[in-house]
Chains A and B, each alone.
Chain A
C-alpha cells in the first residue's frame, strides 16, 4: 500500500514531505480542552438510593485551553504534578480521546480522525502498561506488530536487531512476557512500539518504577532513537534525570492549564528565586548566616541558598572576607525548581478563587 497524504489538514496546509524536511512543526496544539462528565456519588445508603432516581454530575476540566507547538525532531519534557492533565493531553494527541474543544495536528493529521496512516506514524508508550501478548514469547508479539504495521521484512529485521542490541534484550525475546520483570517488560514494550519507526513518540512515564540502571538504559535508548530517526518526542516523567538528560525544552501544565513553555534554564530563572553558592574554605567554617541560608555545612565546605539578585555581591563578599579555596554558583536542583513551579500554579489558582465572585 502506498503512502497517502493526510486527508485532514486543520491548521495550515502542511504536507508530509515538508514535515519530513523539518520545515514544519510535527505537533501543533491550539486551545486543547478536555472536559469529563463525572457522576457525583455521596456516601451513605440514603444517598445511594437517591442517586437511583436522580443522578448528579459535575464537569471536570482535565485540560484547559492548552496550546503549544513541537518542531520536527524536538524532544520536549511535559511536566506537571499528578492529575495535571498530561496523560489526557497525550491520549488526545495519539487519537485515544476526543478533545471537547480546540484542535491539534500531528504530522498533518487530526488525531481524532484516527486515520490508520496516522496511527502507524505515532506511538504512545505508557509506563507500567502491558500491550504485548502476555502468555507468549516476546518475539511473537513483535511478529504481530510487524503484521499490524505492515513493516517490510528487511526493515523489520534491521530495526529488531538494532533495537535489541541497544536495549540489551536479546535473551528476553524467547521468554513469555509474563515472566519478565517490570524493567525488562518496559524495554520490550519500547522495542515493540518503535519497530514501525514512528516519527512522533509520546512517552508517558517510561521509567516509572524502574531501578536507576534500567532508567539510564531507557533514557539513553530514547536519546539515540531521537537522534538517529530525527523523531519528535513529548515525554512526561516525574524523574527529572529523564528530563534533564533528554530535553532542552519543557512544557509545564498544572490543573489542566499551561504554566510554562520554554528552556530548562529559563524555567530555573523564572521559578527558581535563589541560586546555590558552594564555598570551600581553609580551616573551620565561620558563621555564614549573614551571607545567605546555609543548607549544608560539612568540614570546610558549605552550601548557601542566596537570592538571585544578591548572588554576585554575596560571592564577592565571600571571596573578600574568607580564605576561599573554591567557590561555585549553580542553579538550584531542577526538582526544587519544578516544585516551586507547581507551587506557583497553586498560588495563582488560590488567588483566582479568592477574587472570583461566589
Chain B
C-alpha cells in the first residue's frame, strides 16, 4: 500500500506540473463526445426518442461520458509499445514491486488532477447543453465506485494486451482491433440501447460496457437500484477475470521478454 500511495502522489505532482497539458488533453477528449452529442440530439429532435433516449437523455449521457472517459483512461496503447522498445521496462523490472501496481497507482493519481481540470470544462458543457440530471446520493456514490471499477477493468484489459508486447514488439495492431471493438461495444460511440439486439447480447458477454456504459447509466438514472448492485457485482467479476489473466500471462510474458531496444 505505501507504494500505491507514493506512486499516486508522484503522478499527481507530475500532472500538476504539466497542468496546461492536462487541460488541453481534457479539451481534446471533448471533441469526440460533442460530435456524438450533436448528431444524436439532431436525430432525437427530428425523429423522437431512440432506444428510450430523448434529447435530454442523450445530453446527460454524453456529458457524463466526458467524466467517465477521464476515469477510465489507462496506459495508452502506444505507451506499452514505447515502454518495451525504449527499454524503460528494464528499469521497472529491476525493482521488487511489480510494475502493474506502480502503473495502476500512477494512472489513478493522475486522474485526480485531470478531474480537477475537467470541472470547469463540464460546467461549460452544462451551461451550453442544459442536461437533465438529477442523480440520487446513492447513484452518485455508486457512480464513483463503478467509475473506479471501470478504470481497473479497462486498465487490466489493456495490460493483458500490452503483455503481448513481450511476444512481439508490434502489439499495436492487436490493440487497435480491441480499441475498435471497445468503441462499438462499450457505449462509447452510442448508448447500447440504440444498438441492435444481437450487438447488445454480444456486448453483455464482454467487459467493455462495464467500463463505459454502466457508470454513465448509473449517473443518469437509467439503472434501478438492484441493477446497480448487480452491475457492480459483474464489475467485480471482470476485475477478477482480468486480474487472473494478468497473473497467468505475466510469467510467460516475462520469459519471452528479450529486452528489445534496451
Contacts and interface: CB of A to CB of B under 8 A. Distances in A.
B106 to A, nearest CB: 10
B6 A144 contact: yes
B94 A97 contact: no
Contacts of A126: 90
Contacts of A120: 96
A5 B2 CA distance: 24
Interface in B159-208: none
Contacts of A294: none
Interface string A24-48: 0000000000001000000000000
A91 interface: yes
Contacts of A136: 10, 13-14, 17
Interface in A203-222: none
Interface stretch (A75-83, A127-135, A260-268, A277-285): A127-135
A116 B96 contact: yes
Interface in B102-145: 102
* In the A-B complex, the 5 residue pairs with the closest CB atoms: A131-B91, A116-B96, A119-B96, A147-B6, A147-B2
A39 B175 CA distance: 23
Given A129-B91, A147-B3, A97 B259 contact: yes
Contact of A140 (B2, B10, B93, B96): B10
A96 B259 contact: yes
A126 B84 CA distance: 17
A123 interface: yes
Contacts of A150: 2
A123 B254 CA distance: 19
Interface of B: 2-3, 5-7, 10, 13-14, 17-18, 87, 90-91, 93-97, 102, 254-255, 257-259
Contacts, number: 62
Contacts of B254: 98, 114
Contacts of B10: 133, 136, 140, 144
Contacts of A129: 87, 90-91
Given A96-B259, A120-B96, A133 B14 contact: yes
Interface string A86-117: 00000100111110000000000000001011
Contacts of B91: 129-131
A135 B14 CA distance: 7
Given A96-B259, A129-B91, A135 B17 contact: yes
A143 B6 contact: yes
Nearest to B254: A114
Contact of A36 (B90, B96, B97, B258): B258
Central interface residue in A94, A95, A96, A129, by most chain B CB within 10 Å: A96
Given A133-B10, A143-B6, A144-B7, A97 B96 contact: no
